[in-house]
Amino acid sequence: MHTKPSVNVGGLSFEWDMEKGRFLFEGEDAVLFWTGTAMKMFFDTIEEISGEDAANVVMESTGFRQGLVVGQYFSGMKNVSIREASGLINNTYASAGWGLARIVEMDEEAMTLKVHLKDSWEHKINVAQGKKTGGCFLPAHYAGIFTELFGRNIWFKVVHHQIEGFEESVIEYFPSEENIDENIHRLARTKEAGQISRLEQLVEEKTAELNELIREISSPIIPVLNDIVVVPLLGTYDEARAEELLVKTLQNLPKYKATYLILDLTGLNAKFTHHAASLIDKLGSTASLIGSKTVLVGISPQMSMVISETGLNLSKFECFQTLQHGIHYALAQNGRTIV
């Protein structure tokens, strides 16, 4: 007859069923892992995939929810007070290799207490990971246990961790509205805010690149013939783009030794505004100061109406219907023609 090896430690049962590959703790399936290697790798992988902040929330939430399950088990014991259940919890966890735990300064009426943890499995994993601060699984775990025992949401504050150079970790517990759901939502909002911030930064970068590209390709200065340049005006001109056009044109007219500056307004037909009319007047007047005569081409009837409404006097510039007419005019002023 097959017998299952078993041992009783501190009133708790450990049993092995080698034929089925089972290990039982208090009659329930359990597993054994090496703390400094297998469990360390498990923790490292969670942090690598989800990031340290998310991993902390995962461990905190898991610890708390597991604590609720443990608390339900002990609260279901008949004729066992919360203080007596606390002693049973310490003994159970010590026998299972969770380290030494002491529950002190318990005030059942105020629902407050302190838990001292020494050489816990979480501490050993954190040491193996080379961390400087302790984890939150076990602190949250005990919060879950006492939330169930007290029937009131209990939360925690770590006074200090053993890994920080103390003999043991000390955690305070007290009634609180803070809970794992709120922390999960806070992490989600933080991640969402971070993502929005990154998207906003990306939009700003792309907008800057686009504006730079627009400045480079909009209203190009085209030297068509000796001493004649053409500047086509395209789209809508706000204050910044108008200033860019003005500076760019005036800087390049001397470079091309331009006697005639032909402004082609064809691209403004659908978007001609009072601001655009003022820009043309300012550009033409300023160009004349450095010796370039301005010729306007591509003026539509709609443009003429807007120009009249502005009160600007653009009649001081020569105006033609097409670019071809404007170029022929500029050539003719120097006694030249296109053959």
Residue 162, domain CATH: 3.30.1380.20
How many CB atoms lie under 10 A from the CB of residue 326?
23
Q: Is residue 19 part of a domain?
A: yes
Alpha-carbon gap, residue 81 to 149, rounded angstroms: 9
25 plus 139 within the same structural domain:
no
**Closest Cα partner for 67 from 42, 40, 54, 86?**
86
Alpha-carbon gap, residue 254 to 251, rounded angstroms: 7
234 plus 164 within the same structural domain:
no
Question: Domains in the chain: how many in total?
Answer: 3
Calculate what percentage of the chain has a pLDDT beyond 90: 31
77 plus 118 within the same structural domain:
yes
Domain containing 319 equals 219-333
Domain end position, chosen among 178, 203, 237: 178
Q: Which two tokens stand for residue 170?
A: 């000390």
Q: Is residue 271 part of a domain?
A: yes
25 plus 38 within the same structural domain:
no
Domain end position, chosen among 146, 161, 178: 178
Q: Is residue 74 part of a domain?
A: yes
26 plus 53 within the same structural domain:
no
- Does this model's pTM top 0.85? My answer is no
103 plus 173 within the same structural domain:
yes
42 plus 150 within the same structural domain:
yes
118 plus 47 within the same structural domain:
yes
pLDDT at 190 over 70: no
CATH number at residue 269: 3.30.750.24
Higher pLDDT, 57 or 124: 124
17 plus 81 within the same structural domain:
no
316 plus 227 within the same structural domain:
yes
Q: Is residue 127 part of a domain?
A: yes
pLDDT tier at 55 (50, 70, 90 boundaries)?
confident
Q: Is residue 328 part of a domain?
A: yes
pLDDT at 311 over 90: no
44 plus 165 within the same structural domain:
yes
User: How crowded is the C-beta side of 151, counted as CA atoms within 13 Å?
Assistant: 5
Q: Which residue has the tokens 């009649």?
A: 315
pLDDT tens-digit map of 81-104: 898 888 888 888 888 888 999 999
Handedness of CA 71, 76, 82, 88 (dihedral sign): negative
Q: Is residue 311 part of a domain?
A: yes
125 plus 234 within the same structural domain:
no
Higher pLDDT, 220 or 141: 141
**Closest Cα partner for 287 from 327, 326, 317, 321?**
317
Residue 18: is it exposed, middle or buried by C-beta count within 10 angstroms (0-12/13-18/19+)?
exposed
Q: Is residue 192 part of a domain?
A: no
Domain end position, chosen among 126, 156, 178: 178
Q: Is residue 210 part of a domain?
A: no
What does the pLDDT read at residue 262? Answer: 94
pLDDT tier at 125 (50, 70, 90 boundaries)?
very high
pLDDT tens-digit map of 261-302: 999 988 886 667 788 888 888 999 999 999 999 999 988 888
What does the pLDDT read at residue 43? Answer: 85
**99 CB contacts (<8 Å, ≥6 apart)?**
93, 117, 118, 119, 120, 121, 123
